[in-house]
Each structure stands twice: as structure tokens, then as C-alpha cells.
Structure 1
Amino acid sequence: MARAADCFAKRVSGLTMRPMRQSQLFTKTRRDAPKDEVAKNAQLLIRGGFIHKEMAGVYSFLPLGLRVLNNIVQVIREEMNAIGGQEVALTALQSPEPWTKTGRWRDDVIDVWFKTKLKNGGELGLATTHEEPLSAVMAEYIHSYKDLPKYVYQFQTKFRNELRAKSGIIRAREFLMKDLYSFNRDEKEFRAFYETCAAAYKKIFERVWIGEKTVRTFASGGVFSKYSDEFQCISPAGEDTVYMHEEKGIAVNKEAYTDEVLADLGLDADELAEKRAIEVGNIFPLGTRFSEALGLRFKDETGQTAPVVMGSYGIGPGRVMGAVVEVLSDEKGSVWPREISPFAVHLVALPGGNAEVAREADRLYEL
């Protein structure tokens, strides 16, 4: 075992972190994970002292786990800033007003709300997503075509009353989400940014070492559009089923798998392999649904008023962390890519009783 003078050296990354002596770390490794924890990612993270399970689908991040999570956030932040994103922090508590205007306050439309009654008789909800509140904010600042385009993102805790929460930190009831929203003049401008963001997502997954396992996946657009895109990390631990074309590196989500979709993509069903996958990101065309409902309009060059064209782009840092564990772990435990590992170096003084070695270890620690 490492002696008290042993330390973790600080990471080499965009984050500045002080080194830490292992003897100061309050967490310890565990022989076993909780008996009710079935997901490999949560089992390994709990045993390693990275996270603590509060209840089904709810996890606290401990010092090592928080360092990993923050490093993933930093990777995402750097790539979002590189494509012109502006970071904000919106509230988790949500008023019914903007959501009622879009029809999404109703539980039969969004069935994962956590809501509460106020003492004055009003009602609040914990945000599941942020299209409505950000659209309302942007309506105060966007008035002319000269105000566009704009790209706004945040890292915010989301709350979803999920029916199933058995995949560790891959599907949780409380989790951190990066959501970016684009605001464009027209469909052409929107589509160009949509592909720019897709390329940024590819860079993110490559930087955390799951790029080779992650494929852009054709998916249903739900109520927003005919189609959307998911980024699915191929893994037996995944909750989704996709049909993947190995050579082309694209896939179709089972929920969107139809003859029409295959024809649109130029794919032959016989060339596709069925895979299990973890959804680590998604990008959605939103059209003008939210801008029309919430008064987000602008005047174009001719003086005509038009609704802003929007898009939504999500990545869950915790879900990415879980996918990294599922895909990269081995028989000895979790394997962390250098860019997101809690520390870059573990400095060990051996032999432990040698004073000269201990002094040199301390000197290196203080560098």
C-alpha cells in the first residue's frame, strides 16, 4: 500500500487542479458493490469510491468521481465554445407559464415531471429540459435578423421521474445535462450549424476514447420533426437497439427502423447488424414550434416578421462517464482516458521506510 507521503499528481488538462495525497482521500475501495446494483458501470464506480448510491437512479459524486465528471464537462465546454456557444445557467425550478403555452406542462405529454405545490397554492416543476425557459429569455433579446444566429448552452441538473432506473449513471432520475440550443434565421442556416454541432460531438467522443464505438444513428424526431440524430455507443449494456452498417459507420434506431427510412438512407436491411447501444448524445431539429408559441420572432432584411428556427443538442456528462466505464473497463476495474482521468500520475514512494525516497517524493509532489 502507498504510504502517507504518496500522492496523486495534478492532471494535465484544461482544468487547474491541486494534487492530492492519497492519505487525505476520505473514500476507500470496496470489495463488493451494493447487492441491488446490477449495472457494471455503477458497480465499478461504487467499489472504486467514485460515486455513492442514494437510491435507485440517484447517485452522489465523490471526490474522484467529481473530478472525472468535471473533466468530461470541460471537454464538452471546450468543443461548444469552439463552435460559438455561449454558456448560461438557467434555473432548475420551472414556472408552468411557458410550458403551458407549448402544451408540455401536461403529464400526458411529458410523463416524467417532478412537480410540487407551493404554499401560496401555485405549482412548480423541476426541469426535464429547457426549450421553453430559454426561448422565453431569448425573446427579450432577439428582434432583428442582425441578432442571429445565436448558440446558447448550459450544464444543468435535470430531474426525470423515470419508470426504469437500472442502468447505473447511464439512466438516472437526477443527472447533469449539457443542452445547447441554436437560434437561426432560416432552415439553410440551421442545417449548416446542425452539421457543425454533429462534428463537434464526434470530437468530444473521440477525446474521451469512445469515438470508435460511437455511431451517428438515425432516429425518430418525435413531435418535433420527422427525423433526428442520436449518438449511440455500441455496448451490451445499452438500453437501445440499433441496426448498424459497419462500413458506412451509421445506424438506425429500432424505433425508427422502417422501409422508408432505409430507402432515405440508401441502406439494405441485409447489410445491417443488430447491436445494443448506449445513447450518449442527441441532436434535434425543433423547427419553429417553440418560437411561435413563445413569441420568439425577428424582422428579416425586408422588414417581415418571422419565427426563429431552433435546434436542440444534448449530451449527458454522467452518461458519457458511465459509457466510458462500460466500454473501456477490464478485469481489473475502470480504465480512464488521460484527458478525463481524476489524476494523470500516481506518485508512489518505494520503499516506504526510506527517508531519502520520501523527501524526493515530497519534492516532486510540491512541483
Structure 2
Amino acid sequence: MRQSLLFSKTGKNPPADEVSRNAKLLVRAGFAHKEMAGVWTFLPLGLRVIEKIKQIIREELDAVGANEMAMTALQRSQPWEASGRWDDRVVDDWFKTKLKNGTELGLAFTHEEPITDLMRNHISSYRDLPIYAYQFQTKFRNELRAKSGVMRGREFLMKDLYDFSLDEKQHLEFYEKMKGVYARIFDRIGIGDRTYLTMSSGGSFSKYSFEFQTLTEAGEDVIV
């Protein structure tokens, strides 16, 4: 891409209502444009960075036998009602809407329920397992307060990976393998030396999970 062909320009003044350092730098460098609180457009340079990161992730996940797919952002209610997470008293992050016939739909804030429902149509025997599926998909969360620039938004891109194993032993083996895969991804991106495996900070599955956190001046958590 020739710089002379780029329509995005560098600037001196970030959005007046933006306090996050990462967002100010991205706007000034011409990588992103703020549409509203928690909603960002990625300009050509910003999109190139995202696509390069996605390709690194693809290479590492494909190498361990994961399959890339693309699920829908628009969600029917039934799989979520079965898990209890369609109820706004249980999950208050939903953006919901209705079809003209009155059918209620939601914009996915995550995809555990729909992929579990989908796999019922594709797993018919233990011989089909294990299955590892991942995607890059836009998520929508009705955050009370969008903050931290592009790091906590109401619309954002997420990579999610789902594991359907034969038994708990196979699942735990894959889980441990994935820790190494993510470490290689962070190394290739260039942040491995300041990225740490930590306990999960919250959420529906926090007692089953860990997080990777990267030290940055724009961060809010303190690692102890």
C-alpha cells in the first residue's frame, strides 16, 4: 500500500471526550476513528495491523488442528434460554431487537451457546472427537460504561476458540497445549516478554479459566 493513496491522515487532536492513551495514539496516527463511546472504525492502517495479527493466530491454531469458522452475530433466543443466559436479570450485556413478526433476537456478546447447539448437528459419535473450532467475530456488549479506548467497547472483534473433547483428560491436555500456543502468538506479535498468565478476573467461566495479561501504561489492573 502506497502512503500517497491513503485517505487517513495523522493529526494532533484526538477526540475531546477520549481519555485513554491507546485511543489517542491510534486516532492521532490515523489508525482508528471513534464513532461513539465504545464503537470504533479501523482505518486502512489499523485494519492492516489487525489482519496481520489474525494471520499469526491462524497459523498457530491451524498447526494444532483447529478449524476456522464464522458464526453469526445475530442470535436466536432458544440456545440462550436453555442455558438461562437470555434473561436480562442474569446477563445484562445484551443488545436485543425484534423481527417484524415479533420474534426476539440478540446480538451475540459471546458464542458458547450457539456453537454447542451447532455441534449437536455435527457430532454423532465419540469417533468425531476431538473438535477444535475458532473464529474471528464481532461481539456486542451493552456496557454500562465503555472505557479504555479500544480495549473495552460495545462493539469489538474477538477471537474465540472452542474445544469439544472425548473426556476431561483430553480436554485438559489440549488446554495445557493451548497455553503454549498463545505464548508463541504473543512472542510473534512482539509482546511475549511482558505478557503473563494470570487468574481470571471475572465472568461466567472464571473459575475454569486463566487470562493472559500484558503490562502496558494504558492498563488498569495490577498483577501481584
Q: TM-score range by the shorter chain?
A: over 0.9
CA drift at 1:222: 5.0
Task: Give me the whole-angstrom Cα distance separating, in 2, the residues matched to 1:221 and 1:31.
Answer: 37
Q: 2:209 aligns with which of 213, 228, 234?
A: 228
**What is the CA RMSD across the aligned residues, in angstroms?**
1.4
Matched, 1:59 2:46: no
SS in 2 for 1:59: strand
Matched, 1:125 2:106: yes
CA drift at 1:117: 1.9
SS in 1 for 2:218: coil
In structure 2, what is the equivalent of residue 177 of structure 1? 158
Normalising by structure 1, what TM-score? 0.59
Q: 1:91 aligns with which of 34, 58, 72?
A: 72
Asked if structure 2 preserves the Cα contact closer than 8 Å seen for 1:84 and 1:151, the reply is yes
CA drift at 1:224: 3.7
In structure 2, what is the equivalent of residue 143 of structure 1? 124
Q: 2:191 aligns with which of 210, 229, 250?
A: 210
Deviations 1:184-226 (A, max 9, x none): 1111100000011111110111111111111000236754473
Give the counterpart letter for 2:213 in structure 1.
Answer: Q
Give the counterpart letter for 1:34 in structure 2.
Answer: P
Deviations 1:148-197 (A, max 9, x none): 00100011000011122121111111111110100011111000000111
Deviations 1:18-41 (A, max 9, x none): xx2222111111011111111111
In structure 2, what is the equivalent of residue 238 of structure 1? 219
Q: 2:170 aligns with which of 184, 189, 194?
A: 189
Give the counterpart letter for 2:110 in structure 1.
Answer: T
CA drift at 1:242: 2.6
Give the counterpart letter for 1:209 in structure 2.
Answer: G
SS in 1 for 2:209: strand
Give the counterpart letter for 2:6 in structure 1.
Answer: L
Task: Give me the whole-angstrom Cα distance separating, in 2, the residues matched to 1:199 and 1:235.
Answer: 22
Moved over 3 A (4+): 220-227
Normalising by structure 2, what TM-score? 0.96
Asked if structure 1 preserves the Cα contact closer than 8 Å seen for 2:200 and 2:206, the reply is no
Task: Give me the whole-angstrom Cα distance separating, in 2, the residues matched to 1:99 and 1:145.
Answer: 25
SS in 1 for 2:222: strand
Task: Give me the whole-angstrom Cα distance separating, in 2, the residues matched to 1:45 and 1:220.
Answer: 26
CA drift at 1:74: 0.7
Structure number with higher strand proportion: 1
User: Structure 1 unaligned runs (5+)?
Assistant: 1-19, 244-367
Asked if structure 2 preserves the Cα contact closer than 8 Å seen for 1:95 and 1:124, the reply is yes
Task: Give me the whole-angstrom Cα distance separating, in 2, the residues matched to 1:221 and 1:56.
Answer: 23
SS in 1 for 2:24: helix
Give the counterpart letter for 1:70 in structure 2.
Answer: E
Give the counterpart letter for 1:103 in structure 2.
Answer: G
Largest Rg, 1 or 2: 1
Asked if structure 2 preserves the Cα contact closer than 8 Å seen for 1:221 and 1:227, the reply is no
How many equivalent residue pairs?
A: 224
